[in-house]
Amino acid sequence: MINHTVLDSVPVPPTAIEKSVKKLDDSRRNCRDSHIVTILPRGEAIRNIVYTGVLDEISREAKVTLMSVVPNSDLESKMREHCHEFIGLRESPEHSLVENIREVLDMAHGRWLWSKAAQERWVVHDIEANGNGRYWKRAVKKVICRPFASRSGLGLLSRIERASSKALRTTDEYVRLFQEIKPSLVFNGSHVHARVAIQAVQAAQWLGIPTVGFIFSWDNLTSQGRIIPAYDHYLVWNEGLQNQLLQIYDFVKPEQVIVTGSPQFDFHFRPEFRWSRREFCAKVGADPKRPIVLYSTGMANHMPGEDLVVESLAKMLRQMKDVGSPQLLVRVYPKDHTNRFDEVKRRNPDVLFPEIPWERAWLTPHMEDTYLLTNTLRHVALGINVASTVSLELCMFDKPVINVGYNPPGMNISPLDYARYYDFDHYRPVVQSGAVTVAWTEDEMQQLLRKALTQPQADRAKRQMLIESMFGHRLDGYSGTRVAHCLVKLAEMGSLAYA
């Protein structure tokens, strides 16, 4: 394994991200012998790795080949400007036996882990299987997975999955590609929702090329199933994720896991992304003189009935003219295409629903949304959500956070339950910290709203302590730079990866 002592001190030279994407300058083409293949299998990885300047930083030191999903031709053109070679990533159909083994492995992992989030995922998948006529197929796989729901069983099934993936592979295109371009390192910018990346990653592993995976979000290890395939090295947000990874995957060694912070938060701490309050309010249609209350929605299949919650909140806020007549701004989860808020918009024209600039293909944020989200967080008075990452982001900006702990008024959503989310492994410490408050009833929500609007400083120390404990010094706008630095070092030291 690589000795990571050389990575402990990561330089973070200030590198401004220009509003318009620029061409690589000639100096970047005088790169070293290292060659890093970066795989971006989902739209949010494009935001995290391209928009933050990670590729620009890497290309100063190494050759970069970018393999990415292609949301549209315009984004493809922009991505090409940040690398030396670009290859459109596409998913080749896999053998059905391999796909079934992976699904059983993922289910067995969930049954063994059986975290609160894994239990919720199990229930949601049951509901989905019942809805699309796959109940019996899922029932059979649930029976098959049970004997493998142990460390030894998972190890055996993982070896079967790896062997079958190689023996029954349906293409050698990535093997031939890597034999031709000879990369020093292959980096996957998102280990989850990344089926399209599996064949490229495993081709690198078959050829003995070191691989690096980025743990995409703070809940992924306990809520998003098995990491398939395993990587030689992992980049993570913080020490908590590092420890969790080592506990769940006992074959991963401490020297394989590097804490970098998450590039997705870099925009919040770069001055070039700040708008004035007047500019922000003009873009979202808000009155700059009135406080703005943010409600950020969740996934429709996990949080049904949020339209009822939003409408209830709008009524509460209309009754608070004595605290500045607050206005409700709803940031709809960009991956939600259900149109479930259409009636709320029609009945409540005073509620703000700004357009979220994402490309539907591959669920890709546009650069404009990095400005919109950052300034939404900066200019709202407080935020409300159901156990969202946005809670952390609001705390970064020292804004009061209220979580919804009651189910939508007048709606039976069983077996789902909003209250369950606050016992999830990743979110429980947030609630316990006191940095956020949970409204367990509508009456309590009214009380907490008023307190947050009139005493925004009340839990300031707790918010600061939470953010410090989770991120330390890494909320500085340079997590992307740290990621780039680590990848370059790992590529340069690749010959030691299997020592």
Q: What is d(CA 9, CA 315) in angstroms, rounded to the nearest whole number?
A: 52
Please tell me the predicted confidence (pLDDT) of residue 142.
Answer: 95
Q: Are 61 and 35 in contact (CB under 8 A)?
A: no
Q: What is d(CA 70, CA 50) in angstroms, rounded to the nearest whole number?
A: 13
Are 225 and 331 part of one and the same domain?
no
Are 359 and 313 part of one and the same domain?
yes
Please tell me the predicted confidence (pLDDT) of residue 32.
Answer: 58
Query: Which of 33, 88, 22 lies closest to 55 in space, CA to CA?
Result: 22
Are 183 and 305 part of one and the same domain?
no
Please tell me the predicted confidence (pLDDT) of residue 133.
Answer: 84
Please tell me the predicted confidence (pLDDT) of residue 494.
Answer: 66
Please tell me the predicted confidence (pLDDT) of residue 23.
Answer: 37
Please tell me the predicted confidence (pLDDT) of residue 353.
Answer: 98
State the pTM of this model.
0.90
Residue 148 lies in domain: 96-157
Whether 163 maps to a domain, the answer reads no
Whether 14 maps to a domain, the answer reads yes
- When divided into structural domains, the chain yields a total of 3
Q: Which long-range contacts (CB under 8 A, 24 or more apart) does 192-196 make?
A: 192/216, 192/217, 192/220, 192/224, 192/225, 193/41, 193/42, 193/224, 194/39, 194/41, 194/42, 195/41, 195/91, 196/41, 196/69, 196/89, 196/90, 196/91
Please tell me the predicted confidence (pLDDT) of residue 20.
Answer: 29
- Half-sphere exposure of 449 toward its Cβ, with a 13 Å CA cutoff? 32
Please state the φ and ψ torsions of residue 338, each to the nearest 5 degrees: -85, -15
Provide the 8-state DSSP code for 47. I
Please tell me the predicted confidence (pLDDT) of residue 417.
Answer: 95
Whether 162 maps to a domain, the answer reads no
Whether omega for the bond prior to residue 271 falls within 30 degrees of 0, making it cis, is: no
- 377: CATH: 3.40.50.2000
Q: What is d(CA 303, CA 486) in angstroms, rounded to the nearest whole number?
A: 37
Are 491 and 399 part of one and the same domain?
no
**CA 187 from centroid of its chain's CA atoms:** 16
Q: What is d(CA 134, CA 123) in angstroms, rounded to the nearest whole number?
A: 14
Are 384 and 242 part of one and the same domain?
no
Residues of the chain with pLDDT under 70: 1-32, 494-499
Q: Which DSSP string do the residues of 349-404 spell out, in sequence order?
A: TTSB-----EETGGGEE-HHHHHHHHHHHHH-SEEEESS-THHHHHHHTT--EEEE
Are 446 and 434 part of one and the same domain?
yes
